[in-house]
Amino acid sequence: MIDPDEEFHKQLLATFREEADEHLSEITGDLIALEKSGITPGSPLVERVYRTIHSLKGSARAVNLRDIESVCQNLESVFALMKKGEFVPDEGAYDLFHDAIKITRGLLSGERVESISPAEIARSLRALISMTRDLPAAHQDGAVPETPPAERRIRNGMNDENMSAGNAPSPRDGESIFDTGKPNADTGMEHLRSMAAHDTWDGKTVRIAANKLDRLIAGADDLLTTRLFITHRMQELEEIMTRFAIWRWNLALVSNDLHRFREASFGIRKTKLPPDLVLPLQRMVEFLEYNREFVTYLQHDLSVHVRAAEIDRSTLETNTSAISDLIHDAVLLPVANVLQPFGGLVREYSRHTGKQVDLVIEGSDLEMDRRILEALKDSLMHLLHNSIDHGIEYPDIRAERHKKVRGIVRIRIIPLSGSKVGIEVSDDGGGIDRDVIRKAAVEKGIVSPDAATALSDDEVIWLIFRSGLSTSPIVTDISGRGLGLAIVEDTVTRLGGSVSVSSEKGKGTTIKLQVPIRLATLRGVVVRAGSQVYVLPMQQVRQVIRVQQEEILRTGDRPIIEFQGEKIVVIRLTEALGITEYHSLPAGTAHVPIVIMAYGAGQIACIVDEVIRVQEIVVRSLGSQLRRVKRITGAVILGDGKVALVLDALELIQESIKGSPLVPAGTASGEDLRTILVVEDSVTSRALLQTILERAGYFVRTAVDGMEALAMLKEHEFDMVVSDVDMPRMSGFTLTEKIRADARMSALPVVLVTSLDSAEDQKHGITVGADAYIRKTSFEKSQLLSVIRNLLERKR
């Protein structure tokens, strides 16, 4: 059993970690600014750092993290001196401060920072203080001169030096209730209150757990799905309404007859009728009239309700959109939140490499989706590392090149049109040497020497991404921009963005990321390929086109099309997914629908059977068992309740480009492709029969029962029917009878596949006119196929 106190403490710790993380980032940012600007008396920065440290110390004490408290205590003392101008830190001191922050971070995450211990840091900080004490105007150390207002609310029965300093805040009425109870919980509650108070600093904000926000987003997404369902229902209702037109037409046809009946039986033209028929006839006619009225009113009422429902639906649509947008807005955070710790990182990393680098951040107050920022964090970190490692030159080289000794790495956040943001990471370093890349690419066999010289400088730059795609570390060796960059590109593309590089030798390199501001509701192109419906994420769909069969050039290894001057490999979507048992209908239409997908530098043109629509999609995971399936991102529940797979554009492109040249599209020639109608109410049996027959080279259509089958038979040509017997609405026996009774179809072969085992049933089957009767209990693929082959032969 978990101790509730312990549980509570755990919660507190989690909250503290989050809060502390923010504090630490803030302190790091301020420290760097301080070092750059130098300390002026009464500097607001010093004041701010001091307060932040103080808050952190209080919080750490509340959750009983003594190590952190002690480090903060000492840091605070140093800053107290700085505030009074009694201590001016040098570079070494700043290093110490950053180390202290690093150690605190380590303590927070439970990882030990190896080289230094918290005790050492505390000692070194104290040493700083005692140094100043030797100065004439030395001040008493340790004593905290004043309590920053933000911390006033932290108080409890534990030894708080605020109190001992005689600075105990006056208890407020509402808080006295916290003075009793367990000390642990007590401090906790107090602390939570203080954190809440702390967070009201810039107007009205509340802290909300990230997972709650995520759940809210998921909920809003579910709403969108429901809305989609309702839209679909409405369409169905509208269709039902149109059926009344047929009814009206039929009614109009008989209305004249009806009239004549009325006249003849009991109207003015009354003829002699057998008296026992007059009354029934009259009742019939009256009933028909009643019927007409009834249906007319029904139609009217229905249409009123449909219209009302449509209005409700559109209101719902507006509202759900508003909610969804709002919630997605709620997760927008200033980019600064993520960039803040980078200052410390750059400072430390550049010192570590022996280079002098300043990080300049511009436009970081722009707001972006928290999830995008989280996803980009590592990539940005990587780019910064790259710039320092491979961009910025060592101070002596920079001096030789008449550059400022301190290099600059700049992150610029630029709002772009279309809810996009540009993030530029640039350095004023040496730039990328194309010739080195050319050489390496040739050495690694990525391109031939001739091709390498033929490549323009811009094209060469793209090689650094290519290396990632082919997972060859060609450029990693020379600039380190190889695999890492490919990962950056992957991340950015997954977010629906793009990456570009520009570099000038000797002047520096700029990498531009373009990403959406928010993870907007995804849109997808719904397509049908074979018997299944798939969704292609809109972000990676470059274009949907229709081409003539002859526009697909089949001269080379693989079929290609030319689109906007580019040659793009053509592949059937089913083949790209590894589905082979599929035959298209004989090419009735000359136009082939093609979806061009682009992902980074790679692209393919996918042949599909039908482009159904573009719609909003809410991507769900494939469940706990299918953690990752190649080429598939997830699943979507469509408006009609069916589940469609969402395809992964990148993997689709990679796999199809990697794959061997495929058989040209349209494997089965139109002439000998036989069409079979499979009628079966069980989903699995239907799918199984379909697969067996498709693999055997037949074109298969399916119906769920006799009724549907009959409707399809009347509309389309089939070469054979394979039907179950026991089905709702219309059994296989009845279906067979109806087929035999229809002059046009009477010769159509019918195979009954059934679980009815008795000889009687079999006899029944033959009586109604089935050509073959296969029992499910002894069902075998080969048997079914040979029966079908024979029957089709005979038909010929």
Does 662 engage in binding with other proteins (CB under 8 A)?
Answer: no
Does 758 engage in binding with other proteins (CB under 8 A)?
Answer: no
Q: Determine which residue in the list 777, 793, 794, 796 makes contact with other proteins, applying CB under 8 A.
A: 777
| Identity of the residue, 409 or 753, whose beta carbon is nearer to other proteins in the bound complex | 753
Dihedral sign computed on CA atoms, order 97, 99, 104, 108 = positive
- The neighbouring-strand residues paired with 332 are 369
| Identity of the residue, 713 or 753, whose beta carbon is nearer to other proteins in the bound complex | 753
Are the CB atoms for 52 and 23 separated by under 8 Å?
yes
Cα separation of 55 and 635, whole Å? 46
Does 453 engage in binding with other proteins (CB under 8 A)?
Answer: no
DSSP-assigned states of every residue in 427-471: ESS----HHHHHHHHHHTTSS-HHHHHHS-HHHHHHHHHHHHHTT
Does 620 engage in binding with other proteins (CB under 8 A)?
Answer: yes
Cα separation of 359 and 361, whole Å? 6
* Stretch binding other proteins (CB under 8 A), from 14-22, 264-272, 574-582, 589-597: 574-582
Q: What angle do CA 547, 549, 554 make, to 5 degrees?
A: 110
DSSP-assigned states of every residue in 747-769: T--EEEEES--SHHHHHHHHHHT
* Stretch binding other proteins (CB under 8 A), from 545-553, 605-613, 659-667, 680-688: 680-688
Are the CB atoms for 141 and 161 separated by under 8 Å?
no
Shortest reach from residue 547's CB to other proteins, in Å: 25
Dihedral sign computed on CA atoms, order 48, 50, 54, 60 = positive
Shortest reach from residue 469's CB to other proteins, in Å: 16
Are the CB atoms for 88 and 78 separated by under 8 Å?
no
Does 215 engage in binding with other proteins (CB under 8 A)?
Answer: no
Shortest reach from residue 305's CB to other proteins, in Å: 25
Q: Determine which residue in the list 205, 448, 470, 621 makes contact with other proteins, applying CB under 8 A.
A: 621
Phi then psi for residue 718, to 5 deg, are -130, 155
Q: Determine which residue in the list 185, 333, 436, 579 makes contact with other proteins, applying CB under 8 A.
A: 579
Shortest reach from residue 227's CB to other proteins, in Å: 14
User: What is the Rg, in whole angstroms, of the alpha carbon atoms belonging to the chain?
Assistant: 38
Shortest reach from residue 726's CB to other proteins, in Å: 10
Does 42 engage in binding with other proteins (CB under 8 A)?
Answer: no
- By DSSP bridging, strand 560-563 and strand 750-754 are unpaired
User: Contacts with other proteins: how many residues (CB under 8 A)?
Assistant: 44
DSSP-assigned states of every residue in 578-615: T--S--PPP--SSEEEEEEEEETTEEEEEE-SEEEEEE
Contacts of 704 (CB under 8 A, 6+ apart): 679, 680, 681, 686, 727
Does 645 engage in binding with other proteins (CB under 8 A)?
Answer: yes
Identify which of 402, 386, 300, 289 has the alpha carbon closest to the alpha carbon of residue 345: 386
Phi then psi for residue 377, to 5 deg, are -50, -55
Shortest reach from residue 777's CB to other proteins, in Å: 5
Shortest reach from residue 537's CB to other proteins, in Å: 17
Max CA distance (Å), the chain: 136
| Identity of the residue, 512 or 781, whose beta carbon is nearer to other proteins in the bound complex | 781
| Identity of the residue, 170 or 624, whose beta carbon is nearer to other proteins in the bound complex | 624
Q: Where are the alpha helices (DSSP H) in 455-582?
A: 457-469, 474-478, 483-494, 573-576
Does 685 engage in binding with other proteins (CB under 8 A)?
Answer: yes
| Identity of the residue, 79 or 599, whose beta carbon is nearer to other proteins in the bound complex | 599
Binding to other proteins, residues 624-643 (CB under 8 A): 624-632, 634-635, 637, 641-643
Q: Determine which residue in the list 149, 275, 354, 623 makes contact with other proteins, applying CB under 8 A.
A: 623
Does 212 engage in binding with other proteins (CB under 8 A)?
Answer: no
Binding to other proteins, residues 371-410 (CB under 8 A): none
What would the x/- binding string for other proteins be over residues 488 to 527, using CB under 8 A? ----------------------------------------
Which positions touch other proteins (CB under 8 A)? 222, 225, 532, 577-579, 620-632, 634-635, 637, 641-645, 681-685, 687-689, 728, 753, 755, 776-781
